[in-house]
Structure 1
Amino acid sequence: MKVPFDLYHEGVEFFLQEAELIDDRKFKEWLNVMTEDFTYRIPIRVTREKAAPSEFSQHSSLMNETKSTMEIRIMRTFSEYNWAEDPASRTRHFLTNFRARQDEQHENELHYKTNFLLYRGKFDSTSFQFLSGERHDSIRKEDGEWKLSKRLILLDHTTVPMSNLAIFI
């Protein structure tokens, strides 16, 4: 179902503010924009023949999280045992090509397909890393505020060009 422009714009603004929370490392605030039934998944991309139904594994994921497991990941981020992110990465999310549709069964839910480019810098190095792909996000209005209920990340990469995925996309 086509999304009215004002609703579409509210969703785009939500995602831009959400990306800013992640880039500013305000992860605890980021948890507050998630629904209780939030899911976050990054299936593994595999190279297959043209006739295959999907380029993504139905059985294996780089990440398969819920709000509860994201809370644990975020608590670990601020612990003294997070060696992968000490010092912390600098990230910048670039979001583009927002395509939206309204849920036909639930008027208070919007589904977006968005292209992304994620920049990651570490240490004082002149080298950097990029991830690119497509996100399939669902947001739901709860108590008058938009909340992220689902994120499916489809990476363009079959091999992740980073030593770890201790960051959020």
Structure 2
Amino acid sequence: MSGIEGNAGAARVDRDLAFEIEQFLYREARLLDAERYDEWLAMMAPDIHYWMPGIQARYRADRADVLSRTRMAFFDDDLDYLTKRVDRAKQTTAWAEDPPTRHFHMVGNVEVEATALPNEWVVHSLVHNLRHRNETEEQTLTARRQDLVRRDGTGALKLARRLIRLQQTVLQAKNINTFL
């Protein structure tokens, strides 16, 4: 699962740490909404894996893996590719962003689990992204996220892994110029 391993019997984390990680996710959402992408990139660990696989509606009897690295993904990015996507979005020739999309990210249901490493935590959350363009275009994306958040050598929290499970199986948008 993209290198993020939860622990079913994970020890609870203390309230202060859970609050700090929750605030980290809220800050990330605010930076994305404000198009402060360079600050957002600074929240990523150097080995970030940002993965949003395509979702297929499958019958329960179908035993194929729901998530597969061999099938289509909307995002399957490392830090270098995330940086390229940000740089492309900032260009004046980025027609999909002129006029700019107005984003609204809402993060909730944040749950933090301890891992075997004292400086890493698995974080579950839900995200609701509303995208507005021009006068009438509106797109909603909803997803479950599973993150690996790590404290680096400076004491800062960094996003090391993100698995985004969209709830939509078909995207109606003209583009997916957003980060979840």
What TM-score results when the alignment is normalised by the length of structure 2? 0.88
Match of 2:134 in 1: 123
Match of 1:83 in 2: 95
What is the distance in 2 between the residues matched to 1:116 and 1:79? 27
Aligned match for 2:158, one of 147, 157, 164: 147
Higher strand share: 1
For each residue in 1:102-126, what CA deviation from the matched residue of structure 2 results, as whole angstroms up to 9, or x when unmatched?
112x11111111011110000122x
Aligned match for 1:135, one of 124, 139, 145: 145
The question of 1:70 aligning with 2:82 is answered yes
Match of 2:43 in 1: 33
CA contact (8 A) 1:45 1:158 kept: yes
CA contact (8 A) 1:110 1:138 kept: yes
What is the distance in 2 between the residues matched to 1:108 and 1:162? 38
Relative distance call for 1:2 and 1:53 in structure 2 (3 A) is farther
The one-letter code matched in structure 1 to 2:131 is: R
Match of 2:13 in 1: 3
Q: Give the number of aligned pairs.
A: 167
Report deviation, 1:167: 1.2
For each residue in 1:21-49, what CA deviation from the matched residue of structure 2 results, as whole angstroms up to 9, or x when unmatched?
10000001111111100111110101112
Q: Structure 1: where are the runs of 5+ without partners?
A: none
Match of 2:3 in 1: none
Q: Which runs of 4+ in 1 moved over 6 A?
A: none
Describe the SS at the equivalent of 2:54: strand
The question of 1:99 aligning with 2:111 is answered yes
Tell me which of the two structures has the higher relative contact order, counting C-alpha pairs closer than 8 angstroms and 6 or more residues apart: 2
CA contact (8 A) 1:98 1:112 kept: yes
Report deviation, 1:3: 1.2
Describe the SS at the equivalent of 1:45: coil
What is the distance in 2 between the residues matched to 1:56 and 1:35? 23
Aligned match for 2:66, one of 55, 59, 67: 55
The question of 1:44 aligning with 2:54 is answered yes
Match of 2:5 in 1: none
What TM-score results when the alignment is normalised by the length of structure 1? 0.94
Describe the SS at the equivalent of 1:9: helix
Match of 1:12 in 2: 22
Report deviation, 1:53: 4.8
The one-letter code matched in structure 2 to 1:112 is: V
Aligned match for 2:34, one of 24, 31, 37: 24
For each residue in 1:81-107, what CA deviation from the matched residue of structure 2 results, as whole angstroms up to 9, or x when unmatched?
311111111111111111110112x11
Describe the SS at the equivalent of 1:55: coil
RMSD: 1.2
Describe the SS at the equivalent of 2:173: coil
Match of 1:114 in 2: 125
